[in-house]
């Protein structure tokens, strides 16, 4: 059974820099691109960014709203993907989901349960 | 930046056919995926590559994509299909989601 489990969410003050983790099991992690998608309370899905598998270069792409503030990295030896969030703003408050897609520019087969990040003083 | 437009809401009677559209410039040239999200749950892939159903997704879910519009069709809609539905496509290495459509079965 494939599982994606996000962690690291919680109440964070504006300007702080937490890191989210997404620990996976049951899939050939190295073959998958990993995405982060967020959902503000009562709103729709917003893509945050993704990191390619090593086969496709292992590079990351980001949404304009977070580019320069957020960084995605992966540790294939641990089957974990990270989202480093810097200089958080109140508008970054959302449930953050990680998802997995096989190959390049593909669809998300698997999703985690999400972790809520609340940015507030 | 590329945008996908969905109707905010669609209503359907049980047993009838529901159609949810997703519009974008030359969308037919891209692959479209559809995700279902029920309250308090994570999204679930229901259609990929315009019209393919993942294993475990009922046959009543189907998709099409041509021109500027992709459509998710649910035939014989059931109460359990009530959810938010999101279309998604890639544009210039950017994953784009539609704004979502709330499907009400009443």
Q: What percent of chain A has pLDDT over 70?
A: 100
Q: pLDDT digits over B73-96, tens only?
A: 999 999 999 999 999 999 999 999
Residue of B84, B99, B68, B96 lying closest to B5 (CA atoms) = B99
Place of tokens 């989202």: A83
Q: pLDDT digits over B14-55, tens only?
A: 999 999 999 999 999 999 999 999 999 999 999 999 999 999
- Sort strands A60-62 and A45-51 into parallel, antiparallel or unpaired: antiparallel
Place of tokens 């930046």: B1
**Is the Cβ of A41 closer than 8 Å to some Cβ of chain B?**
no
Phi, psi (deg, nearest 5) at residue B27: -60, -30
Q: Tell the burial category of B106 from Cβ atoms under 10 Å away from its Cβ (0-12, 13-18, 19+).
A: exposed
Name the β-bridge partners of A19: A84
Greatest alpha-carbon span in chain A: 42
Q: Which of A33, A42, A43, A44 to mutate to test the interface with B (most CBs of B within 10 A)?
A: A44
- What's B44's DSSP letter? E
Dihedral, CA of residue B72, residue B51, residue B83 and residue B100, to nearest 10: -60
Residues of chain A with pLDDT under 50: none
Confidence band (pLDDT; 50, 70, 90) for B65? very high
Q: What is the structure's pLDDT at B25?
A: 98
**Is the Cβ of B1 closer than 8 Å to some Cβ of chain A?**
yes
Q: For the residues B50-68, what does the mean pLDDT come to?
A: 98
Find residues 98-117 of chain A whose CB sits inside 8 Å of chain B. 99, 105-109, 111-114
B35–A45 C-beta distance less than 8 A: yes
What residues in B contact A102, CB-CB < 8 Å? none
Q: What is the structure's pLDDT at A103?
A: 87
- Looking at chain A, list the stretches that DSSP marks H as alpha helix, in order from N- to C-terminal side: none
Stated as kind and residue range, the H or E segment containing A106 is none
B44–A111 C-beta distance less than 8 A: yes
Q: pLDDT digits over A12-43, tens only?
A: 999 999 999 999 999 999 999 999 999 999 99
For chain B, what's the residue count? 106
Q: What is the structure's pLDDT at B13?
A: 98
B95–A44 C-beta distance less than 8 A: no
């Amino acid at each position: 059974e494939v599982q994606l489990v996000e962690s690291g969410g919680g109440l964070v003050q504006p300007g702080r820099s937490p890191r989210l983790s997404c620990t996976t099991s049951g899939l050939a992690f190295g073959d998958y691109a990993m995405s982060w998608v967020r959902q503000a309370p009562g709103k729709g899905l917003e893509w945050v960014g993704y990191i390619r598998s090593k086969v496709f270069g292992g590079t990351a792409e980001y949404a304009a709203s977070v580019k320069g503030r957020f960084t995605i990295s992966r540790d294939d030896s641990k089957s974990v993907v990270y989202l480093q969030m810097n200089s958080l703003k109140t508008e970054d408050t959302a449930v953050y989901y990680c998802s997995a897609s096989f190959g390049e520019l593909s669809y998300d087969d698997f999703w985690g349960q999400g972790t809520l990040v609340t940015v507030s003083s | 930046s590329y945008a996908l437009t969905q109707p905010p809401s669609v209503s359907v009677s049980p047993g009838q056919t529901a159609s949810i559209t997703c519009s974008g410039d030359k969308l037919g040239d891209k692959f479209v995926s559809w995700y279902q999200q029920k309250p308090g749950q994570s999204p679930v892939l229901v259609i990929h590559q315009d019209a393919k159903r993942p294993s475990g997704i009922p046959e009543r879910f189907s998709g099409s994509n041509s021109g500027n519009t992709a459509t998710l069709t649910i035939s014989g809609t059931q109460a359990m299909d009530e959810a938010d539905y999101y279309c998604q496509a890639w544009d210039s290495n950017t994953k784009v989601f539609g704004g979502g459509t709330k499907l009400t079965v009443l």
